[in-house]
Amino acid sequence: MFVLQLKNNVKNAVGDWYEINSAKKIISHHVISDWSACPKINPSEACVVLFPGESVLLTTVKLPKMRTSEQLNAVPFALEEQIASDPEAMQVAIGDRAADGSLTVALIEKNKFESTMQLLHDVELFPRAAIPDFLAIVWKPNTWTIVIQNNIALVRTAFQQGFSIDVDNLFLFLEIMLKKNQPNKPSAIVYYQDTVVMDVEQFKKLMIPLEIKSISSQSFLDIEGLLLKPALNLLQGKYRPKVESTQLRTNWLWCGTSIAALILFLLLSNAVEWFYFRHETTALQSQVAVIYRQLFPGATDILEPRFRVEKLLKSMESTSQGNLFFQLLGDAGESLQTSTTTIMVEQIQFDNQQLQLTIQATSMDSVTQYVQALQTKTLTVTQKILKTGVNNIQAEITVKA
């Protein structure tokens, strides 16, 4: 992560450049003297720009509930009395809504903001966030933080509250802020100083405990906040970072692709099942056609095979009275008809007052079930397995009266 803190009215300095590692520690810091001296970074790296707080007006405004785009247009006119320039010449950013319904808003001159953004783009810097510098310093609830840099005091009094002011007027503004926030005075003031050493006695007059830290010894930047949730991002509306919309679009594309892949998988599964059952049906119809033509040699079309075979068996049964062959054949046919498994008769022989059937079944259970069906007709039945295989059992069944 990289942070560029822009400076106003600092000779030979665009701003301070900070490099922060994955442990959220500043590992390098140097002054950028000219825009052309800005380091080149990987576009995928996070970059945050801190705008000088003196250029930003941070205040609150009450507006009725409306869309964000409408709020951005309405804020300058709602604060027309507080700003010196044309409302349409102001760039607006909207923060959180407070419990009383008021919105925290930040305003900056549009020309200055756009020219700075153009300079950043010219040196191939595309920040993910642009924040007033006083909202980028460390802060804890119920405390105020003050950072002194180049005779400018950055003061943060809440998550989305603060200001920048020259050090000569710092204590006056602190007194005003304390009087304004009498019910919610801070429990402590954390003060970061650089080469400018403030009069500690002045702080004592505020009657607030003071904790003094050195900028050189600890990071004064709220690095975790900059990474996870900037207090108030000035890049709103048409300036919203493209990386956010691109990432959102990518997530939706992944989601859509996953759903499309699932639908395609379901359709292909149904298609495969349809082709499989169609193949099985075709094979079964072919087997039926072969047997049908064997039973009815003169038939040209296969019409109601089940009905015609039943009729043939009944006629054979009626003519088989006293004829052992037809009696055994009828019993074998009825048993085959009542079987719930798939059995195909390949060969029929009658010799020595016994009927010999060569059958093909899908399993041994099918053969056993067929034999048991024959035995229920008080027939003597023996079986001999001729060939076994996966889903293919060939057996010889001998039936005696």
Task: Give the integer Cα–Cα distance in Å for 124 and 38.
Answer: 9
118: pLDDT confidence band, cut at 50, 70 and 90?
very high
Average pLDDT, the chain: 85
Interatomic CA distance for residues 221 and 154, integer angstroms: 11
The confidence score (pLDDT) of residue 239 equals 85
Q: Count the Cβ atoms, other than its own, within 10 Å of residue 359.
A: 22
Question: Which is it for strands 152-158 and 161-166: parallel, antiparallel or unpaired?
Answer: antiparallel
d(CA 75, CA 61): 7
pLDDT band at residue 42, thresholds of 50, 70 and 90?
Answer: confident
Contact (Cβ atoms closer than 8 angstroms) between residue 336 and residue 313? no
Mean pLDDT over 21-29 rounds to 87
- 180-202 per-position pLDDT tens digit: 887 788 999 998 877 767 777 88
Domain 1-133+224-240 architecture: 2-Layer Sandwich (3.30)
Residue 316: pLDDT band by 50, 70, 90 thresholds? low
Residue 56: band (very low, low, confident or very high) from pLDDT cuts 50, 70, 90: very high
Residue 146: which of 206, 69, 58, 80 has the closest Cα? 206
Question: pLDDT tier at 157 (50, 70, 90 boundaries)?
Answer: very high
The more confidently predicted of residues 11 and 290 is 290
Contacts of 70 (CB under 8 A, 6+ apart): none
Alpha-carbon gap, residue 322 to 316, rounded angstroms: 12
Given a cut of 90, whether residue 113 has pLDDT beyond it is yes
Residue 387: exposure state from Cβ atoms within 10 A (0-12, 13-18, ≥19): exposed
Q: For the chain, what is the radius of gyration of the CA atoms?
A: 46
% pLDDT > 70, the chain: 93
The gap between the terminal CA atoms of the chain, to the nearest Å, is 96
Note the pLDDT of residue 401: 80
The domain over range 137-220 is classified in CATH as 3.80.10.10: no
> Which CATH number, 2.40.240.10, 1.10.20.10, 3.20.20.300, 3.30.1360.100, labels domain 304-400?
3.30.1360.100
Query: Between residues 160 and 83, which one has the greater pLDDT?
Result: 160
pLDDT tens for 210-243 read 888 877 655 789 988 888 888 899 998 888 876 5
